[in-house]
Amino acid sequence: MSLQIGDLIARAARTFGDRPALIDGPRTVGFAQFDRLTDRLGHALIARGLAPGDRVAVLVPNGIDGVVTYYALAKAGLVRVPLNSRETDVELAYKVADCGARALITDGRRPAPTEMVIDTAELDTMIADAPDHPCRVVRDPEAPLRLAYTGGTTGKPKAVILTTRSELAEVANFLVDLLPDIGPDSVMLHAAPITHGSGAFFLPHLVKGAVNVVLPKFEPQAFVDAAVAHGATATFMVPTMISLILEDAVIDRDRLRLTRLCYGGAPIAPTLLQRAIDTFGPVFAQLYGQAEAPLAITCLQPAEHTPGRLTSAGKPYTFVEVDVRDKDGTSQPPGSPGEVHTRGPHTMSGYWGRPDATAETVEPDGWLHTGDIGQFDDDGYLYLLDRRHDVIISGGFNVYPREVEDVLLTHPAVREAAVVGVDDPTWGQRVCAAVVVREPVDGDELIDHCAHRLAGFKRPRRIDFWPELPKSSVGKSLRRTVRESMNTESIDTTESIDTTATEVAEHA
């Protein structure tokens, strides 16, 4: 019999007993209690008529109910489909229908019809009435454990199939490389949604006897206060959250115990990262991954956050292979860009109901196309240049939006930036930027700021000022939405066609 997720939970219960495992406001659940709650709820779900392999959508905010539900589903052999409560009913309904969810567990919202709806208000009664003995539905390690929907930044989201094999491998990657010092004195503070990146940190901490503290939502000062109150040693954030903390929270570094502030999910500007390090100290660890290779492709350890490497995504995890290849599939030497490929036991088994997309993404030998453009340096550190579909081709030259965004963000007035290619009859595309500013600034000043730091063909030709940038439900800037908006707005045709000799020289 292969190792199951429930076996890890039961082992932690035997080892750590009644010690606190999970804290949600005034409510605390011990390790043994967590094991019993998930066993009972697993039995209750089976009693409702659900069978191994059935998909169960879960629309529950951060908290104990959500975590107990997630691992009860694993014990019952049911496939978890976590839904983000920040998404609209239209977005959620698509996912529920796409995966063929047989049941929905919800705190009240019902975005789509399913055969079975279980309100979170019923969970306590279901648990109380269920048998009090282990729930262990043994499934093949390659059977679906959960479906993780992609961000949908290039179209309709796809459901990534993650298995018990991939889940256990992700835990191993975290414990070996990212969080090797977890122990019973560790405290993981979940401020980001557990439906996404933060949820990956729960099981590694549980198996090592650490406490998981779950906040209902992210607020900058509330996060800092909770980190101090609970003695948090680790947390996970997307860059937007780090920026908001630096802008809006009062931080007393001497009162914090953080040794790992893990970040990922979107690019981070070096200027923002350096400010964060100056504020919190050398505790930052970057993790580069994606839904198809959950949170484990490369990582940049705190000691590696040196001034020359703040733009690096780090080195591959111990049990992960990473290669950079050109369009013909040839491995590229250090300094040469190409698409990042990865392979390891943590990667997806495919996309749900999308064999065509699976074949395009996963090679027969297991190598996964990430869609990211990157390059290695001579020391084996990976640098991400951009998403493949976001690369701007202007006058035959490739322009990586992230490089231009990083330069814009070095201007003190710029808070956020999104760089996109706008259709142009002469150059194919022109480099344009949407920015959110802290204080008034002239667009020409920002273009001039870039002109001193970037080659001419990379310099933005147009700056639009936005009150805020569109973002996905997990905080990623949606360049696609910006690009569509800027391409549909009227553009000065004279500016596009009246090409100067200087501009020709810059593109030559």
| Angle between helical axes of 443-451 and 401-408 (0-180°, round to 10) | 110
Mean pLDDT of 346-366: 97
Segment of 58-67, 88-97, 399-408, 475-484 carrying the highest mean pLDDT: 58-67
Helix/strand/coil (H, E, C) string of 277-342? HHHHCCCEEEEEEECCEEEEEEEECHHHCCHHHCCCCEEECCCCEEEEECCCCCECCCCCCEEEEE
Q: CA dist 298 to 255, 290, 344, 506, Å?
A: 31, 11, 12, 35
Average pLDDT, the chain: 91
pLDDT category at 502 given cuts 50, 70, 90 is very low
Could you read off the pLDDT of 135-176 as tens digits, one per residue?
A: 999 999 999 999 999 865 456 789 999 999 999 999 999 999
The pLDDT value recorded for residue 295 is 92
The pLDDT value recorded for residue 477 is 75
pLDDT category at 473 given cuts 50, 70, 90 is low
d(CA 50, CA 48): 6
Structure tokens given for 52: 């191994």
CB count in 10 Å sphere of residue 412: 12
71-85, 118-132, 382-396: segment of lowest average pLDDT: 382-396
Q: Which letter, b or e, does each residue of 9-41 get, where b requires 16 or more Cβ atoms within 10 Å of its Cβ?
A: bbebbeebeeebbbbbeeeebbbbbbbbbbbbb
The pLDDT value recorded for residue 138 is 94
- β-pair type (321-325, 103-106): unpaired
The pLDDT value recorded for residue 505 is 37
Amino acid at 87: E
Mean pLDDT of 477-490: 81
d(CA 337, CA 316): 17
Structure tokens given for 423: 């259709």
Least Cα distance to 211 among 30, 5, 14 occurs for 30
Domains observed in the chain: 1-139 (3.40.50.980), 391-507 (3.30.300.30)
The pLDDT value recorded for residue 507 is 43
Mean pLDDT of 473-492: 74
Give the Cα-Cα-Cα angle 140, 144, 150 (nearest 5 degrees): 155
Sign of CA dihedral 346, 351, 356, 360: negative
Q: Which residues are bridge partners to 414 per DSSP?
A: 437
pLDDT category at 444 given cuts 50, 70, 90 is very high
Q: Which residues are bridge partners to 432 per DSSP?
A: 420, 462
Give the Cα-Cα-Cα angle 190, 14, 229 (nearest 5 degrees): 30
The pLDDT value recorded for residue 426 is 67
- β-pair type (260-263, 234-237): parallel
Task: Check if the beta carbon of residue 216 is closer than 8 Å to that of residue 25.
Answer: yes
Mean pLDDT of 393-412: 85
pLDDT category at 376 given cuts 50, 70, 90 is very high
The pLDDT value recorded for residue 471 is 80
The pLDDT value recorded for residue 265 is 79
pLDDT category at 491 given cuts 50, 70, 90 is very low
The pLDDT value recorded for residue 1 is 60
Is residue 459 scored above 70 in pLDDT?
A: yes
| Angle between helical axes of 220-230 and 239-248 (0-180°, round to 10) | 90
Could you read off the pLDDT of 221-230 as tens digits, one per residue?
A: 999 999 999 9
Is residue 483 scored above 50 in pLDDT?
A: yes
Could you read off the pLDDT of 286-303 as tens digits, one per residue?
A: 999 999 999 999 999 999
Task: Check if the beta carbon of residue 195 is closer than 8 Å to that of residue 10.
Answer: no
Residue 113 CA, chain-centre distance (Å), reads 28
The pLDDT value recorded for residue 498 is 33
40-54, 126-140, 485-499: segment of lowest average pLDDT: 485-499
Structure tokens given for 61: 């905010």
Least Cα distance to 304 among 296, 314, 295 occurs for 314
Task: Check if the beta carbon of residue 81 is closer than 8 Å to that of residue 95.
Answer: yes
Q: What is the DSSP letter of 201?
A: G
Long-range contacts of 373-376 (CB under 8 A, 24+ apart): 373/337, 373/338, 373/339, 373/340, 373/400, 374/313, 374/324, 374/337, 374/338, 374/339, 374/340, 375/324, 375/332, 375/334, 375/335, 375/336, 375/337, 375/338, 376/324, 376/332, 376/334, 376/335
Mean pLDDT of 377-392: 89
CB count in 10 Å sphere of residue 403: 16
Could you read off the pLDDT of 20-68 as tens digits, one per residue?
A: 999 999 999 999 999 999 999 999 999 999 999 999 999 999 999 999 9
Mean pLDDT of 243-261: 95
State residue 149 phi and psi, 5-degree precision: -80, 135
DSSP per residue over 356-385, as a string? Answer: HHHHHHB-TTS-EEEEEEEEE-TTS-EEEE
